Amino acid sequence: MSDYIIECHNLETAYVASLNRPILNKINCQIKQGEFVVLLGLNGAGKSTLLRSLVGLVPLIRGEVRINGVATNTRTISQTRRDVGMLFQGGGLIPQLSAIENVLCGKLGARTTWQTIFGFPKRDRLLALELLEQLGLRELAYQKTSRLSGGQQQRVAIARALIQSPQILLADEPTTGLDVIAAQQVMDTLAQLHSQQGITIVTVLHDLGIAAKYAQSAIVLDAGRIVYQGACDNLQEIVISH
């Protein structure tokens, strides 16, 4: 059994004429169980594409992603997605639903159509409330998410990802559009999940200061290739030099 929870072997996406290259170009990397990793690079470097490729949201023309030693393909993708929670940029919530209903949406992948028709069992609702309470949102559980602040919405999105009990949490720019305090609350939440529950966290960030403060290691991309993987020391110099 591999020491790595995530392995990327020679990942390559389709050629993009406007870039004159594939978005991902021969990507090889490994992430250990329980690591907190940040993906860095300039706009267009391929950070979000790499993150999404881990759960089959980006078609690859060659290469292989392995999660927990299992190659991700059409046969295994539903199992893979049960192990992986995803935080999309801006939260990706349904604004007209309440916070608790949005959290419960995280259970849809594990339920049959018939189960969905009959609603969610009480234990799921109790778990959703418990997660919202842990994230300081218990009193807002029945509030429409459109009426919550950006930081509160992002924490609802975290609760939605956590309700499926993932081993891995992928976060695509979770602090975008948030003020300094809300961004810190969201990153503190991710850090807690990492330290207290041992969840493997992989996040795309733009802010090198936040990256250095929270992450254990960094993967820096440039023009679809990995130019650095290692400790978060001297990130400023590493990113600027590429």
Give Cα 150 distance to the centre of its chain. Answer: 17
Residue 114 has pLDDT above 50, yes or no: no
Residue 117 has pLDDT above 50, yes or no: no
Interval 68-96: pLDDT, tens? 998 988 888 888 888 899 998 877 899 99
Q: What is the pLDDT of residue 239?
A: 67
Whole-Å CA distances, 67 to 33, 127, 145, 217, 237: 10, 26, 32, 19, 31
Q: Write out the residue range of the structural domain in which residue 187 sits.
A: 4-240
Task: Give me the number of domains the chain comprises.
Answer: 1
Quickly state the pLDDT bin for 240 (edges 50, 70, 90): low
Give the CATH number of the domain where residue 21 resides.
3.40.50.300
Interval 23-62: pLDDT, tens? 999 999 999 999 999 999 988 899 999 999 998 899 999 9
